[in-house]
Structure 1
Amino acid sequence: MPQPVAIVTGAARGIGKSIALTLARRGTAVLVADSSQQGRQTVDEMKEQGLEAIFRQADVSVPQSVRQVVETAQSHYRRLDWIVNNAGISAFKPIDEISIDEFDHILAVNLRAAFLFAKFGAPLLRQSPQAAIVNIASTRALMSEPHNEAYAAAKAGLLGLTHALANSLGPAVRINAVCPGWIATENTPALSPADHAQHPVGRVGLPSDIANMTAFLLSAEASFISGQAFVVDGGMTKKMIYTE
């Protein structure tokens, strides 16, 4: 079977970078799409490891930019098998302080972009016998704390978009979502033993935890799974919390 081709958005760092590396190490050609030039460094690192990857700078909140990413996959690889919608931003502000433009921009990057990649990518995806999309949502789609209305709304919207697309694009394309919990990335402050201990599994998550689940959902082993959302959070959302 030909080498699969995947677009991974927001892949310059953190979870997105881990997903890109994991897929590439498993034999996938990866198109790294990111608004930052740091995505080019990610691709350079991948190529140093002998992995197949290219970089396309993109603002996923702009429809034409999303279309150009898909066109790059078509022109460079002549195929597209998988899309991972990982790009995301947040702004944790009181509702009295967050502007309407900020709210709309967060929805555009976190939610509308996934719709656009499905819309523009569908013609290519339908040509693949293994086509699949994974949307990276968040446990904040299911629970919240104060001042995260825009982010929570966008991530919850991703879950609805996921099952809608699964029905609209199936059976040609499978679509699933992953809801990460607390994941320690390169920007996470130092963690304490208490941070780890509050997770039923005994540790804070790693980007690789999300990358491994994503790779599974894209694989043929998950061929009977579509329209689902999988929480990967070390058990945190299943833990009852009482005030002492």
Structure 2
Amino acid sequence: MPNTYYQDKTVLITGGAQGIGLGMAQAFAEAGANVVITDKDEEAGQEALKRLKGQGLEVVFIPCDVSVESEVQVLLQQVEEKYKKLDVLLNNAGIADPFVGALQELDMAVFDKVLAVNLRGPLLCSKYALPLLQKAEHPAILNISSTRAFMSEPDTFAYSASKGGLEALTHSLAVSLTKERVRVNAIAPGWIEVGEWKKESEKYTPQHTEQDKEQHPVGRVGLPQDIAEAALFLCSDKAGFITGQSLSIDGGMTVKMIYH
């Protein structure tokens, strides 16, 4: 896809200050988009802004907690004031730590918070983004789910449930927004290494064992760029016949039988 495909298009990325979100922000900005990053972590947001603007990219940062309806309303009002429309909404914000402890010790406040951010957040953002998406020629919503929507480790109740719900929300939105011409899809990442895409105080150098690599048929752990490349395609009119779908990007890990 030419780097100018997204020229003059506006892209909103929730949770865009670090990790996969930051990788997508860079990719869409490099493709010519006006990128709006939103994130609850203002420190990370300012660092992301400095990082991307230092590369000559068009990016703005607006702080927002996507689980709070009033903050989401203000966020979209600010996007409208600056850009008038929205071409792409990337629902990426989420509480990433999947472990919440044993069932008998589960803190329901933690469970509720994970669902509020990971599931309620995408719904709120989609709701308030819709009037701006309707002004775009080829509007698209992309939800960042997880392969944990389909498989689990022990004690990941909240995260797995939220991502499973996001998968269902994806096809529900897709069939509900047909008259509004909005395509809605999801990407379910597997193991994506984000150590070099964290804010400065949390950066680390990845250390992967041979066993880590061998768990993936492609022979390596994933990178934010792997998700970004797919997002660029799914949100473009090149994918105009694709809606309500979920693409697992995991290096083949979830289809490999592992006995060790």
Alignment TM-score > 0.5, same fold? yes
Q: Could you say which residue in structure 2 is the equivalent of 1:118?
A: 126
Q: Supply the distance in 2 between the matched residues of 1:126 and 1:153 (Cα, whole angstroms).
A: 30
Which residue in 1 is equivalent to 2:3?
Answer: none
2:208 matches 1:200: no
- Asked if 1:74 is matched to 2:91, the reply is no
Deviation at 1:96, TM superposition (A): 2.1
Secondary structure of 2:113's counterpart equals: helix
- Aligned residue among 232, 238, 249 for 1:221: 238
- Alignment partner of 1:137 out of 145, 149, 154: 145
* 1:43 is the counterpart of 2:58: no
| Paired residues for 1:1-244 under 5 Å | 3-37=8-42, 38-89=44-95, 90-92=97-99, 93-171=101-179, 172-186=181-195, 189-242=206-259
The C-alpha deviation readout for 1:170-202, integer Å capped at 9, x for no partner, is 251000000000111115751112211121011
- What's the TM-score, normalizing by structure 2? 0.90
TM-align CA RMSD: 1.4
Task: Give deviations 1:71-128, integer Å, cap 9, x for gaps.
Answer: 1110111111111011111351212222111111100100111000111111110111
| Amino acid aligned to 2:131 | P
In the other structure, the counterpart of 2:200 is: none
How far apart in 1 are the matches of 2:146 and 2:7? 32
CA–CA separation in structure 2 for the residues paired with 1:27 and 1:222: 18
1:16: how far off? 0.5
SS in 2 for 1:8: strand
Structure 1 residue 70: Cα displacement: 1.0
What is the SS of the residue equivalent to 1:73?
Answer: helix
C-alpha deviation, 1:49, in angstroms: 1.4
Identical pairs, percent: 46
SS at match of 1:55: strand
Does the CA-based 8 Å contact 2:7-2:31 persist in structure 1?
no
Structure 2 counterpart of 1:229, which letter?
A: S
Unaligned runs of 5+ in 1: none
Task: Structure 2: state its 5+ residue gaps.
Answer: 1-5, 196-202
Letter in 2 for 1:202: G
List 4+ stretches of structure 1 deviating above 6 A: none
- When normalised by structure 1's length, the TM-score is 0.96
Distance 1:197 1:241, change over 3 A: closer
Q: Distance in 2 between matches of 1:91 and 1:136?
A: 15
> How far apart, CA to CA, are the structure 2 residues paired with 1:146 and 1:110?
19
Cα distance, 1:242 vs. partner?
3.1
> Partner amino acid for 1:237?
T
CA distance in 2, matches of 1:220, 1:154: 29
Aligned residues: 243
CA apart distance, 1:220: 1.3
